[in-house]
Structure 1
Amino acid sequence: MSVFTRSGAGKVVGAIAVGAVSAVLLAGCAGGGGSTTPSESQGPMKDLTLKIGSVLPQTGSLAFLGPPEQAGVQLAVDEVNEAKKGITVDFTPGDSGDADNKAFETTVPKLQSEGVSAMIGAAASGVTKLFLDSNVDAGIITFSPANTSPDFTTWDDKGLYWRTAPSDLLQGEVLGNLVAEDGHKNIGIIYQNDAYGTGLYGVVKEVFEGTGGKVVSEASYNDGDSSFDAQVATIMAAKPDAIVLITFDQFKTIAPLLVNAGAEAKNFYLVDGNLSNYGSAVSVSLEGAKGTLPGPELTDDFEKRLNESWTAAGNPALEDYSYSAESYDAVVLLALSALASGGTSGADMSSKLQEVSGGSGDGTKCTSFAECADIINGGGVADYDGYSGPVTFNEAGDPTEASIGIFQYGADNMYTRVETR
């Protein structure tokens, strides 16, 4: 596996430079080729209107991720529009659901018919796979704040797929090493049988066994399943000293089953798909359990602004902030790429997304939409470092710098960050 080096940038703490992994990813499908545009030597010729929609989970097994992601998008839309820098974002929210309830089958065609140039989503890699080709055929950018499947790196997306979340090649490596560093030698893994679950499972297993440990039991299930007794029995029969749970909100059912079968929750390891401030929503104590979640530690008032925007729209205060920064940055990067290209089509923006993220290496660092827009409108090249990290897209549309947070649960079943890698 790759060796990662640390770097800091802008508002973030503890970014991981994706060393050898990014070299592999560069061989993937093109996602940010350059082209000559009217704005390379001057600002936009006219005020632009950018129509985007979201395909984020309001229902289904990832619904707990919906509020922070939707809040991130809405805050960015508000702040781009308030900046009045030559572009207005016209935003339409929509539900992705999950691969079981298939709410995206209604949302995606509706957004396509309304003429959006980009869709923010989906959260689940398996859901994005089900509509990505349709958007590519329509010339629409699919920009996910949370897809982590390595499969997207080499997808034939015509440069129209981008993500601010890092590939699970990163999270899997951090998690596999964390379990080993904590002294565990024989682990069990329960994972969801989809693009997300199988991809992350494979990396965790490879990395953990590379440290000298052994995966002594493993069990999968399908999204939509409601009974997990067989999976729990399989895992517990092997007497593992730790259990990795690569699930969505099925964790709320699986965790009590494991504890009742004799497992100690302090030896559970969670992932981004199920790391949540559960409180009383899980009937057993999770004290001591750990989990990983991509994203840096934020150092300004982002969470405060996020909550103010979200609650002002009549929503309850956020309980989790998973992928809110990645969602915010997706909108900002789209708006900046439209300004830089002088157009709002998927092709226009895809020609400049790598550039405005700093992937071309010749831009001026900036840390807000307004600051970056001023650079572009003045005829310069902007390099946006956002709340999710420096981003720095490669040609496959993947971020090449990212942070993975390590979190631990307290007695109240709420988690706190204990480390960033």
Structure 2
Amino acid sequence: MSVFAKAKTSRSAGAVLSGIAVIGVSALLLTACSSGGGGSTSTATASADAGSALPIKAGDRDLSLKIGTILPESGTLAFLGPPEEAGVKAAAKDINAAGDGLKADVIFRDSGDTTTDTATVSVTDLLSQDVSAIVGAASSGVSFTVIDQIVGAGVVQFSPANTSPDFTNYNDKGLYFRTAPSDLLQGEVLGNLIAEDGNQTLGLLVLNDPYGTGLAKATTKAFESAGGKVVAQELFNSGDSNFDSQLSAINAAKPDAVAVITFDEAKVAVPALVGSGYPGDKLYFVDGNLADYSKDFAPGLIKGSKGTLPGPKLGDEAKNKLLGADPALTDFSYGPESYDATVLIALASYAANSTKGTDIAKYLQQVSGGSGKGEKVKSYEEGIKLLKQGKQIDYDGLSGPITLDEHGDPTEATIGIYQYGADNKYTRIN
């Protein structure tokens, strides 16, 4: 199946307004406005206000940039930790190999999940080591627990995977950024995909946190706008291990399809749902749980089920960069976004000729192409060559065009559609 959409974003409101999505042979209107994403699968593009550019001083640099990470080495999103950390490692390698006066030093720390205080401990440690920026967290809920601590210290927080719409207008002192699109976009794609597949009713199993409820709301709006009806929405809390009551309520509503908006809890909830008689090929997964279940589920348990995940279709160059940092990788989710977040931090530091977090933040939108009308570059090395000459740049990276807006949201994004085979592994189908 092929799905294409093109949308424009404006930065004056936070509602879905206009745009065009084509799904199969049907067409519907959709857009994002201040959503951090500008459209639907497989590619979304958006215009950015050029704005006024800050000057870039030509000449050599002598900068030692210290970057911290709070990425999931434990908890319900631990499967995302390896590709994300690999992305940061690969970026640091490229930054340091380029030379030209900026050296990047990365300190890796665990974010855990919202059931622990791991992220707060990690952030406190990183701030004590005078980092200029922190890459992470992956979980929107975790980021909300530490964002005030990070930006209050004048440090940049740059997430490769936060998708909650609530970050767009958060009072972050201009220091929070992300390379992942808002779930206003993923929800449009998921809801339209479910409807396009011929489902008329939908049940939702939803993690009760900013990520889960935000994505569920956007999915519901898109599905019902396409003529469907949500007949059940059951919430659960992080740390819950029994979903009997929620699954009973969903089964009682007899939906045509069920969207499972969870993290690692899917390992428990999905077999229980299928075991209760619900067909495994009528399930829909999301970025928080689109994972390899070949070692977790019985063969064929979810054959034919589908899911959505922000990010481009990776070419060999991107995969090889990530594998160079971690040869054991089998999942590349949010690895490119982590790479690009790290490169953008370094480019902004170079442009500002400073490692102060507030100075870096002033240049992040600019080096991403969100302002300044810079020349397109596709690598850190290309970027610093122009910056050294005092020229403006527009960085497009492993995750594709980024173009940050004034809220720190990317205005260009891609959402992929995936399908599970009999081995319970997923492959991209669009």
- Aligned runs of 1:18-417 on 2, under 5 Å? 20-22=31-33, 36=54, 40-44=56-60, 46-283=61-298, 285-311=301-327, 317-417=328-428
Secondary structure of residue in 2 paired with 1:286: coil
Cα shift at 1:231: 1.0
Give the Cα separation in 2 of the matches to 1:372 and 1:77: 15
Give the counterpart letter for 1:295 in structure 2: G
Give the Cα separation in 2 of the matches to 1:24 and 1:406: 20
CA RMSD of aligned residues (A): 1.9
Give the Cα separation in 1 of the matches to 2:19 and 2:312: 15
List gaps (5 residues or longer) in structure 2. 1-15, 22-29, 38-49
Secondary structure of residue in 1 paired with 2:161: coil
Give the counterpart letter for 1:111 in structure 2: L
| Number of corresponding residues | 395
Cα shift at 1:36: 4.8
Give the counterpart letter for 1:373 in structure 2: I
List gaps (5 residues or longer) in structure 1. 7-18, 27-31, 312-316
**Residues 122 and 144 in structure 1, CA contact (< 8 A), matched pair in contact too:** yes
Give the counterpart letter for 1:64 in structure 2: F
Secondary structure of residue in 1 paired with 2:416: strand
Cα separation, partners in 2 of 1:24 and 1:272, compared to 1, 3 Å: closer
Moved over 4 A (4+): 2-6, 23-26, 32-37
**Residues 292 and 404 in structure 1, CA contact (< 8 A), matched pair in contact too:** yes
Give the Cα separation in 1 of the matches to 2:230 and 2:386: 51
Give the Cα separation in 2 of the matches to 1:184 and 1:134: 44
**Residues 53 and 372 in structure 2, CA contact (< 8 A), matched pair in contact too:** no
**Residues 35 and 351 in structure 1, CA contact (< 8 A), matched pair in contact too:** no
Cα shift at 1:271: 0.2
Cα shift at 1:286: 1.2
Give the Cα separation in 1 of the matches to 2:54 and 2:262: 44
Cα shift at 1:5: 6.2
**Residues 56 and 96 in structure 1, CA contact (< 8 A), matched pair in contact too:** yes
Cα shift at 1:145: 0.2
Q: Which residue of 2 aligns with 1:10?
A: none
Secondary structure of residue in 2 paired with 1:400: coil
Cα separation, partners in 2 of 1:214 and 1:237, compared to 1, 3 Å: same
Cα separation, partners in 2 of 1:33 and 1:162, compared to 1, 3 Å: farther
Give the counterpart letter for 2:309 in structure 1: L
State the percentage of identical aligned residues. 50
Cα shift at 1:212: 1.2
Give the Cα separation in 1 of the matches to 2:110 and 2:36: 30
**Residues 122 and 128 in structure 1, CA contact (< 8 A), matched pair in contact too:** yes
**Residues 35 and 409 in structure 2, CA contact (< 8 A), matched pair in contact too:** no
Could you report, residue by residue, the CA deviation over 1:147-189 in whole angstroms, capped at 9, with x for unpaired residues? Answer: 0000000011111000000000000000000000000001100
Q: Which has the higher contact order (CA 8 A, sep 6+)?
A: 1
**Residues 60 and 97 in structure 1, CA contact (< 8 A), matched pair in contact too:** yes
Cα shift at 1:102: 2.3
Give the Cα separation in 1 of the matches to 2:31 and 2:420: 32
Cα separation, partners in 2 of 1:251 and 1:339, compared to 1, 3 Å: same
Give the Cα separation in 1 of the matches to 2:331 and 2:202: 28
Give the counterpart letter for 1:307 in structure 2: L
Give the counterpart letter for 2:135 in structure 1: I
Cα shift at 1:34: 6.6
TM-score (norm 1): 0.90
